[in-house]
Structure 1
Amino acid sequence: MRASNHLIGVVNFLTFLLSIPILGGGIWLSSRANNTECLKFLQWPLIAIGVAIMIVSLAGFAGACYRNTFLMELYLFVMFFIIAALIGFIIFAYAVTDKGSGRPVQNRAYLDYNLEDYSGWLKDRVTDNSYWPKISSCIRDSKVCSKMGRTVNGVPETSDMFSYRKLSPIESGCCKPPAECGYTYVNETTWTPGGGLVGANPDCTTWNNDQQMLCYSCNSCKAGVLGSLKKSWRKVSLINIVALIILVIFYVVGCAAFRNNKRMDNDEPYGEARMTKAQPSRIHL
């Protein structure tokens, strides 16, 4: 009995520790949203799952230490639904970030991002007229574009140097015009029309060298936000998958230990089998 209680206590303690990276992943997504994407509609469920696991694990740990059957039953019951919610979150995160990625640009290390490459719920959410003004304003206020400037020995980088940079989706989509527009590089956020015709992409006429405008109204900026979200969510989802596997193992072990506890609670004192009491032998040696 004591060994089973100790095992349940250890499992609950490990589950509590496991809630930390899940909660941390949600907080990391939240900090990313505040700095760049400014989107907060997915990290909160993850934070809620992490907090729920933490609280329920503490309840189960207390139940194991004090042999409180109600708390241990509550732990197993609630943890089942938390595991189901975590599975649903992982499936949802992969489903909404399934499509879309950056396009390679000839003689460039960075990628260009096109809105037509994306589809589904996440695209509709980001491009919604009630959301995008807030998102673009937040990106502008984060000054992510103004932070792109680099110098080499005190001299601003050249066009060739810039072409070898690996830009983030936000930097590529919002801080410069698409490569197909044919603009000529002046600096990271200042471009002038080239000698040829401007491309047919509507973003080519939307681009503005005004540092408060740039390409914040471009479809490429919206695609860059989607690309950045995809990268962030996929990283967090990988952590959650590992955490889910470990959590399921802990849950199965906890269930087995709890069943063993209940079975021992219903039996006679250690060393006396229930069968002996139910059907006592008439032969005594």
Structure 2
Amino acid sequence: MGVSNNVTSVLNFIAFLCSVPIIAAGIWLASKADNECTHYFRWPVVILGTLVLLVSLAGFVGAYWNKQGLLAFYLFCMAMLIGLLLIVLVFAYVVTREDGGYSVPGRDYREYSLGGYSAWLRDHVTDPENWVKIRACLAESDVCTRLAQNYVIPDQYFAARISPLQSGCCKPPTVCGYTYANPTLWLNPTNPTADPDCYLWSNDQAQLCYNCNSCKAGLLGNLRHEWRKANVILIVALVILIWVYLIACSAFRNAQIGDHK
């Protein structure tokens, strides 16, 4: 096996290692209630990471056993996957760039408004047909029941850093003036006309604020928060993959020149 093929084998092993955090980031995203309920966003990163893994293995085999056709196939496919990963990153950045969260006096958690998010993401989530499915999925999850297990007294709850999804779906908007009984039980609003969501709130544990605009905005807030975290891992992996790919192209070209001498 020539020097160029040795280099390409090592580079493909590095690319293989890069696929692991991509897959891990995808699995982490898929495990979250908001991504689980919005199937559109659930598996793309896992699928992309798996393809990088398989293509890297093909490149390693091609380099180790000097299969030039397999190496050429690897270079073509890896270029496509790098392009797809770049598209996913740009798309995720654009649709999660804006933040609909705002601070509320006397609360450490934030509340969320639909107007603060990109039109594409907002329209997809708030589409009535989509929201019926998302709402049913959220109601079956433990997003809100976990709050009752973790917080008891009001001061403890008001000082909590609950997730955007929990803030939007598990309680009424603060402006409504409801009195805290427990994290998912609120009574006697003093300002019930302040927001349309005030009328939509229900102490029925299967209803809560799942019909509220604040719940839809909270879902978008969760998606934004989680995808921006995952993007850090994906950006690092993309930079390494591009570096590996460029060196692999040079090594492949040198091997081709060497074979013709």
Q: Is the TM-score greater than 0.5?
A: yes
Q: Which amino acid aligns with 2:154?
A: S
Counterpart of 1:158 in structure 2 is 153
Structure 1 residue runs of 4+, over 6 Å off? none
Task: State the 1:39 CA deviation.
Answer: 1.2
- Greater share of helix: 2
Letter in 2 for 1:82: L
Matched, 1:254 2:240: no
Residue 281 of structure 1: aligned partner: none
Number of residues of Structure 1 aligned to a counterpart in Structure 2:
261
1:277 match: none
SS in 1 for 2:180: strand
User: Match of 1:144?
Assistant: 143
- The answer to whether the 8 A contact 2:101-2:111 is kept is yes
SS in 2 for 1:41: helix
Instruction: Please state how far the C-alpha of 1:237 moved relative to its aligned partner.
Output: 1.0
Q: What amino acid is the match of 1:105?
A: V
Residue in structure 2 matching 1:218, options 212, 221, 228 = 212
- Alignment correspondent of 1:29: 29
Local SS of the residue matching 1:166 = coil
Normalised by the size of structure 1, how large is the TM-score?
Answer: 0.87
For the pair 1:184 / 2:179, whether they are aligned, the reply is yes
Q: 1:27 & 1:150 partners in 2: Cα distance?
A: 26
- Percent identity between the two aligned chains: 46
TM-score when normalising by structure 2: 0.95
Tell me: CA distance 1:36–1:9, structure 2 relative to 1, closer, same or farther (3 Å). closer
1:193-204 alignment, distance < 5 Å: 193-194=188-189, 196-204=190-198
Match of 1:19 in 2: 19
CA distance in 1, matches of 2:4, 2:233: 30
Kindly provide the CA deviation profile for residues 156-181 of structure 1, in whole angstroms up to 9, marking residues without a partner as x.
Answer: 73222221111111111001000111
Alpha-carbon separation, structure 1, partners of 2:115 and 2:121: 13
Cα distance in 2 for partners of 1:149, 1:218 equals: 20
Checking the alignment, whether the CA contact within 8 Å between 1:37 and 1:229 is kept in structure 2 is no
Q: Is the 8 A contact 2:202 2:209 kept in 1?
A: yes
Counterpart CA distance in 2 for 1:197 and 1:249 is: 58
For the residue of structure 1 that corresponds to 2:43, the secondary structure is helix
RMSD, matched Cα: 1.6
Distance 1:265 1:239, change over 3 A: same
Question: Which whole-Å CA distance do the structure 2 matches of 1:43 and 1:258 have between them?
Answer: 36
2:239 corresponds to: 245
Which residue number in structure 2 is paired with residue 54 of structure 1? 53
- CA displacement at 1:185 relative to structure 2: 0.8
Measure, in 1, the Cα distance between the counterparts of 2:250 and 2:35.
Answer: 46
Whether 2:129 is the aligned partner of 1:130: answer yes
Is the 1:37–1:225 contact (alpha carbons within 8 Å) kept by the matching residues of 2? no
| CA distance in structure 2 between the aligned counterparts of 1:158 and 1:41, rounded to whole angstroms | 38
Gap runs ≥5 in structure 1: 268-285
Q: Following the alignment from structure 1 to structure 2, what is the Cα–Cα distance between the partners of residues 36 and 86?
A: 19
Structure-2 separation of matches of 1:212 and 1:42: 25
Partner of 2:69: 70
Structure with the greater alpha carbon radius of gyration: 1
Alpha-carbon offset, residue 58 of structure 1: 1.0
Q: Which amino acid aligns with 2:124?
A: R
